[in-house]
Amino acid sequence: MPLVGFTGAVLDRADRERNDPAALAAALADSHARLLRLNGLEPEVGAAGQLVWTSLADLPTGSEPLFLGYIDGMPHFAPLALGERHGTVRSPALFQMLALMPADQASLYACARSLVDWHQRHGFCPACGTPTELFRAGWARRCPACAAEHFPRTDPVVIMLAEHGGRVLLGRGPAWPPGRYSALAGFVEVGESIEEAVARETLEEAGVVVSNVRYVASQPWPFPSSLMIACVADAEDDGLTLDTHELEDAFWATRDEVRAALDGEAGARFGAPPPYAIAHTLLRAWLGGDT
Amino acid sequence: MPLVGFTGAVLDRADRERNDPAALAAALADSHARLLRLNGLEPEVGAAGQLVWTSLADLPTGSEPLFLGYIDGMPHFAPLALGERHGTVRSPALFQMLALMPADQASLYACARSLVDWHQRHGFCPACGTPTELFRAGWARRCPACAAEHFPRTDPVVIMLAEHGGRVLLGRGPAWPPGRYSALAGFVEVGESIEEAVARETLEEAGVVVSNVRYVASQPWPFPSSLMIACVADAEDDGLTLDTHELEDAFWATRDEVRAALDGEAGARFGAPPPYAIAHTLLRAWLGGDT
For residue B193, being part of any structural domain is answered with yes
Q: How confident is the prediction for chain A on average, in pLDDT?
A: 95
Quick check: B193 and A4 CB within 8 A?
yes
Quick check: A118 and B148 CB within 8 A?
no
For residue A1, being part of any structural domain is answered with no
Contact of A119 with A133, CB cutoff 8 Å: no
For residue A126, being part of any structural domain is answered with no
**A76 interaction partners in chain B (CB closer than 8 Å):** none
Q: Are residues A174 and A270 in the same domain?
A: yes
pLDDT value, residue A87: 67
**B217 interaction partners in chain A (CB closer than 8 Å):** 193
Residue A1 has pLDDT above 70, yes or no: no
Q: Are residues A207 and A115 in the same domain?
A: no
Q: Are residues A185 and A68 in the same domain?
A: no
Smallest Cα distance from A115 to chain B, Å? 7
pLDDT value, residue B101: 94
pLDDT value, residue B234: 98
Quick check: A114 and B190 CB within 8 A?
yes
Cβ contacts of B26 within 8 Å, gap of 6 or more: none
Q: Which residue on chain B is closest to A111 by alpha carbon?
A: B191
pLDDT value, residue A58: 96
Quick check: A129 and B127 CB within 8 A?
no
Q: Which of A80, A157, A227, A229 to mutate to test the interface with B (most CBs of B within 10 A)?
A: A227
Q: Are residues B164 and B279 in the same domain?
A: yes
Of A120, A143, A171, the last residue of a domain is A120
Q: Looking at residues A222-244, what average pLDDT do you find?
A: 97
Strand B133-135 versus strand B53-54 pairing type: unpaired
Q: Are residues A95 and A165 in the same domain?
A: no
Query: Which residue blocks in chain A are alpha helix, DSSP H?
Result: 15-18, 21-29, 92-100, 103-121, 194-206, 255-262, 278-287
CA-based R_g, chain B, Å: 21
Residue A169 has pLDDT above 70, yes or no: yes
Given A124, A148, A151, which is nearest B128 (Cβ)?
A124
For residue A58, being part of any structural domain is answered with yes
Q: Looking at residues A189-197, what average pLDDT do you find?
A: 98
Q: Are residues B192 and B245 in the same domain?
A: yes
Peptide bond just before B224 cis, omega within 30 deg: yes
For residue A148, being part of any structural domain is answered with no
Peptide bond just before A224 cis, omega within 30 deg: yes
**B229 interaction partners in chain A (CB closer than 8 Å):** 194
Q: What is the domain-level CATH number for residue B184?
A: 3.90.79.10
Given A114, A152, A190, which is nearest B114 (Cβ)?
A190
Given A153, A190, A193, which is nearest B115 (Cβ)?
A190
Q: Are residues A97 and A218 in the same domain?
A: no
Q: Which residues of B105-128 are buried (b: 16+ CB within 10 A; e: fewer)?
A: bbbbbbbbbbbbbbbbbbbbbbbb
Q: Which of A11, A132, A154 to mutate to test the interface with B (most CBs of B within 10 A)?
A: A154
- pLDDT bin (cut points 50, 70, 90) of residue A91 is confident
What global pTM score does this model have? 0.97
Of B120, B146, B167, the last residue of a domain is B120
Of B70, B103, B120, the last residue of a domain is B120
Going by C-alpha positions, the residue among A114, A118, A70, A153 that lies closest to residue B187 is: A153
**A155 interaction partners in chain B (CB closer than 8 Å):** 153-154
Q: Are residues B195 and B261 in the same domain?
A: yes
Percent of chain A topping pLDDT 70: 98
For residue B91, being part of any structural domain is answered with yes
pLDDT value, residue B84: 72
Residue A236 has pLDDT above 60, yes or no: yes
Quick check: B126 and A151 CB within 8 A?
no
**A192 interaction partners in chain B (CB closer than 8 Å):** 7, 9, 107, 111, 220
Residue pairs spanning A and B at CB distance below 8 A: 160
Give me the domain span that covers residue A59: 15-120
Going by C-alpha positions, the residue among A81, A8, A68 that lies closest to residue A34 is: A68
Q: What is the DSSP string of chain B?
A: ----TT-----B--HHHHT-HHHHHHHHH-TT-EEE-EETTEEPB-TTS-B-EE-GGGPPTTEEEEEEEEETTEEEEEEEETT----S---HHHHHHHHHS-HHHHHHHHHHHHHHHHHHH--B-TTT-PBPEEEGGGTEEE-TTT--EE----EEEEEEEEEETTEEEEEE-TTSPTTB-B-EEEEPPTT--HHHHHHHHHHHHH---EEEEEEEEEEEETTTTEEEEEEEEEES-------TTT-SEEEEEPHHHHHHHHTT-TT-SSBPPPTTSHHHHHHHHHHTT--
pLDDT value, residue B1: 53
Q: Are residues B278 and B188 in the same domain?
A: yes
What residue ranges of chain B have pLDDT lower than 70?
1-2, 86-88
Q: Are residues A105 and A180 in the same domain?
A: no
Q: What is d(CA A37, CA A70) in angstroms, rounded to the nearest whole number?
A: 17
**A123 interaction partners in chain B (CB closer than 8 Å):** 126-127
Smallest Cα distance from A269 to chain B, Å? 30
Q: What is d(CA B181, CA B247) in angstroms, rounded to the nearest whole number?
A: 10
pLDDT value, residue A251: 98
Q: How many CB atoms lie within 10 A of CB A119?
A: 22
> What are the pLDDT digits (tens) for A92-125?
899 999 999 999 999 999 999 999 999 999 999 9
Q: Looking at residues A83-89, what average pLDDT do you find?
A: 70
Quick check: B127 and A124 CB within 8 A?
yes
Cβ contacts of A212 within 8 Å, gap of 6 or more: A233, A234
Q: How many CB atoms lie within 10 A of CB B175?
A: 6
Q: Are residues A56 and A112 in the same domain?
A: yes
Q: What is d(CA B84, CA B65) in angstroms, rounded to the nearest whole number?
A: 15
| Model ipTM value | 0.97
Tell me how many domains chain B contains: 2
Q: Looking at residues A54-80, what average pLDDT do you find?
A: 96
Q: What is the DSSP string of A26-79?
A: HHHH-TT-EEE-EETTEEPB-TTS-B-EE-GGGPPTTEEEEEEEEETTEEEEEE
Given A108, A115, A131, which is nearest B129 (Cβ)?
A131
Given A190, A191, A220, which is nearest B190 (Cβ)?
A220
Q: Which residue on chain B is closest to A116 by alpha carbon?
A: B190
Q: What is d(CA B252, CA B236) in angstroms, rounded to the nearest whole number?
A: 13
pLDDT value, residue B92: 87
For residue B72, being part of any structural domain is answered with yes
For residue B159, being part of any structural domain is answered with yes
Q: Are residues A207 and A263 in the same domain?
A: yes
